[in-house]
Structure 1
Amino acid sequence: MKATEHPFYHHLKKYVSFEDTDFPKILSHFETLTLAKKEIAMQAGNPCNHNYFVIKGCLHMYFTSENGAERTVQFALEGWWLTDFLAFQNRTNTDFNVQAVEKSQVLCISNEQQELLLKEFPVLERYFRTIYQIAYGASLIKVKYVYDLSKEEIYLHFTEHFPEFAQRVPQYLIASFLGLTPEYVSEIRAKNRS
């Protein structure tokens, strides 16, 4: 695949400028992983050493509550990043798991490689700052919806504004992400079909 055909090349170009000839050098800091459906990429209790960029597929990040329930906190489709950003930054253990929702191909960069990448290509500091700002803003919006909307409104808003997730992600994971039960999501869906 030519550099200019790579999905990550196009993603980077949306945010920063760099020479096309530099892309192979940028890409050399990453490892490409293929994850099977339900395969764990990052496991709670272990050091958070990697940040994941989805080329193809879908990932979700979740924790397991004291009662054993899995609580999804984030999803990532093509063109999205996913990691425990705080643990990644601080090089500490994570409380979260990252798992493939479907067969996925991801770029993976370690703490060390990201530092080397940013020294070699300082323009990517701006890229990562922008990505982190977008991720933080999305988290704030989610919190606002939890406070402002009813449970039914939260579900309807999510499926209306993020149809790509609603079509690809199993309902039980969407329910977990929105703080709902799968049974309640089924009730909402049945009500809106009639």
Structure 2
Amino acid sequence: MYPELLAHIKKFVSLTAAEEKLLCENLEPKKLKKKEFLLEAGKHCHGNYFVINGCLRLYFINSKLNEQILQFGIENWWIADQDSIASGRPANCYIQAIEASELLFLSEKTRAILCEQIPHLESYFRIMMQKAYVAAQRRIGFIFNQTEEERYRSFTSQFPGFVQRVPQYMLASYLGFTPQFLSRLRAKKS
């Protein structure tokens, strides 16, 4: 059994003991070392990963050959290249461990079968997708409606512990500015 995932699911839906057992039997544990890749551009993403512990980043390389971070994944978050899963095309993104990480893999094929067998699981994944979509909308809104300094202040106040776990250049990439700007901002704060 995987208590972290089951506790997370219980926040949103109820599963029977038999449903929990069936789900857990279909999960594949995975460990990553720091800086190890879970997914590389050009390869297919075949499912979703639940983060038991650790920290990951999902990013692409932009036209200026800079890394652009789209998402982080920390404890109790799911991470995957949803475009690759939905389209069946190779990924445009990379998923890399920032810290040594423990994950649970659920293949998309297995998820679809389980959702037929466990209707509450379908509800859980719908809720997770809605939450991810809302987070993406808010992030886009912040990028268009806030200054760089406002974005930084907002993010650090909402996620103070997270800021300590992520290298400065990655935080800058996620927030949409250069590491040099972030250095100046942090120096000004001191």
Normalising by structure 1, what TM-score?
Answer: 0.94
Instruction: Give, in angstroms, the shift of residue 90 of structure 1.
Output: 2.3
SS of equivalent to 2:180 = helix
Matched, 1:190 2:187: yes
Q: Tell me the residue number matched to 1:95.
A: 92
SS of equivalent to 2:64 = coil
Superposed, which structure 2 residues align to 1:148-163 within 5 Å?
148-163=145-160
Which of residues 141, 144, 153 in structure 1 aligns to 2:138? Answer: 141
Which whole-Å CA distance do the structure 2 matches of 1:109 and 1:59 have between them?
Answer: 17
Q: Tell me the residue number matched to 1:118.
A: 115
Instruction: Give, in angstroms, the shift of residue 24 of structure 1.
Output: 2.3
Q: Tell me the residue number matched to 2:15.
A: 18
Aligned length: 190
The one-letter amino acid of 1:68's match is L
Q: Which runs of 4+ in 1 moved over 6 A?
A: none
SS of equivalent to 2:174 = helix
SS of equivalent to 2:52 = strand
Unpaired runs of 5+ residues, structure 1, are none
Instruction: Give, in angstroms, the shift of residue 164 of structure 1.
Output: 2.4
The one-letter amino acid of 2:88's match is R
Which whole-Å CA distance do the structure 2 matches of 1:78 and 1:47 have between them?
Answer: 24
Which whole-Å CA distance do the structure 2 matches of 1:71 and 1:117 have between them?
Answer: 34
Matched, 1:8 2:43: no
Which of residues 173, 177, 187 in structure 1 aligns to 2:174? Answer: 177
Segment drifting more, 177-186 vs 126-135 = 177-186
Which whole-Å CA distance do the structure 2 matches of 1:103 and 1:117 have between them?
Answer: 29
Matched, 1:40 2:37: yes
The one-letter amino acid of 1:86's match is D
Which whole-Å CA distance do the structure 1 matches of 2:137 and 2:19 have between them?
Answer: 35
Instruction: Give, in angstroms, the shift of residue 122 of structure 1.
Output: 1.6
Superposed, which structure 2 residues align to 1:43-82 within 5 Å?
43-82=40-79
The one-letter amino acid of 1:187's match is R
Matched, 1:168 2:165: yes
Instruction: Give, in angstroms, the shift of residue 137 of structure 1.
Output: 0.2
Query: Residues 8-27 of structure 1: CA distance to partner in whole angstroms, max 9, x if unpaired?
Result: 01001111111124322111
The one-letter amino acid of 1:26's match is L
% same residue: 37
Unpaired runs of 5+ residues, structure 2, are none
SS of equivalent to 2:34 = coil
The one-letter amino acid of 1:183's match is Q
SS of equivalent to 1:93 = coil
Which whole-Å CA distance do the structure 1 matches of 2:112 and 2:18 have between them?
Answer: 21
Over aligned residue pairs, what C-alpha RMSD do you find? Answer: 1.2
Normalising by structure 2, what TM-score?
Answer: 0.96
